[in-house]
């Protein structure tokens, strides 16, 4: 039997605090997606975040009670997952991530 080492999760800036403000059902989805990433697989709700060069930065997009929530992380490093940002997408136009949120992600 082959055992994989589960990757460590590190929270950057206020990402963990921000996630704790999100509804529990969304937190559960994010937790499942991050656990999948820790195990080397990808959760169905995960997509690449455009503007970051391929699949180096990923987003978990979750809809809950008419709102959209996003958590952004990177698996670019072999042994650690870095959670960069968690937020409510407030823009009602299109699916694009708002510029101010992208700026925060770039800072991290």
CATH number of 79's domain: 3.30.2310.20
How confident is the model at residue 98, as a pLDDT?
Answer: 66
Q: Is 1 inside any structural domain?
A: no
Which tens digits make up the pLDDT trace of 7-63? Answer: 999 999 999 999 999 999 999 999 999 999 999 899 998 999 888 777 889 999 999
Burial (CB count <10 Å: 0-12, 13-18, 19+), residue 43? middle
Q: Is 61 inside any structural domain?
A: yes
Reduced to 3 states (helix: H, G, I; strand: E, B; else coil), residue 49 is coil
Six token digits for residue 14: 């206020």
Q: Is 3 inside any structural domain?
A: no
Mean pLDDT calculated for residue range 94-101: 66
Query: In which residue are the tokens 């959670």 written?
Result: 83
Decide which of 98 and 29 is more confident: 29
- Total domains in the chain come to 1
How confident is the model at residue 56, as a pLDDT?
Answer: 86
Mean pLDDT calculated for residue range 76-97: 81
- The domain containing residue 60 runs over which residues? 8-107
Q: Is 94 inside any structural domain?
A: yes
């Amino acid at each position: 039997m082959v055992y994989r080492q589960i990757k460590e999760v590190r929270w950057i800036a206020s990402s963990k605090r921000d996630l704790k403000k999100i509804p529990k059902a969304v937190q559960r989805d994010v937790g499942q997606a991050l656990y999948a990433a820790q195990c080397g697989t990808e959760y169905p709700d995960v997509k690449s975040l455009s503007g970051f060069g391929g699949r180096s930065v990923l987003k978990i997009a979750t809809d809950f009670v008419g709102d959209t929530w996003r958590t952004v992380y990177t698996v670019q490093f072999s042994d650690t997952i870095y959670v960069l940002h968690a937020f409510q997408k407030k823009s009602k136009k299109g699916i694009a991530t708002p510029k101010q949120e992208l700026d925060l992600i770039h800072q991290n």
